[in-house]
Amino acid sequence: DTVLTQSPALAVSPGERVSISCRASEGVNSYMHWYQQKPGQQPKLLIYKASNLASGVPARFSGSGSGTDFTLTIDPVEADDTATYFCQQSWNDPYTFGAGTKLELK
């Protein structure tokens, strides 16, 4: 299976820019997607196919990358962005998820 590696946690101040990385153990083309999950809620799609903003998602969120290295950027970070962010690939079967990066605000 394709293993997706994410940093466990990040802490940033409101107004700053934050980049969350996801590295795949093998190439996934551009088929990397990003989700936000808050406690007690279901995951919410933010970015699909590496760089496409999902409907209704603020333009503060952006995605980049291809192949094995991908980044989710939030600029500027707001207090409401406190959450866990997951990457997911769908190029290789089975679909797999990263372990999540917990974003905390200082």
Partner 1 sequence: EIQLQESGPGLVKPSQSLSLTCSVTGYTITSGYDWSWIRKFPGNKMEWMGYISYSGSTNYNPSLKSRISITRDTSKNQFFLQLNSVTTEDTATYYCARSRTIAAYFDYWGQGVMVTVSS
Q: Using CB under 8 A, list all residues that contact partner 1.
A: 1, 31, 33, 35, 41-45, 48-49, 54, 84, 86, 88, 90, 93-97, 99-100
Task: Report in angstroms how near the CB of residue 91 gets to partner 1 at its nearest.
Answer: 9
Look up residue 2 and give its DSSP letter: -
3 state DSSP class of 80 = helix
Q: Residue 82 and residue 39: Cα distance in Å, rounded?
A: 10
Strands 9-12 and 101-105: what pairing? parallel
Task: Report in angstroms how near the CB of residue 85 gets to partner 1 at its nearest.
Answer: 11
Task: Give the residue with the Cβ less far from partner 1, 17 or 49.
Answer: 49
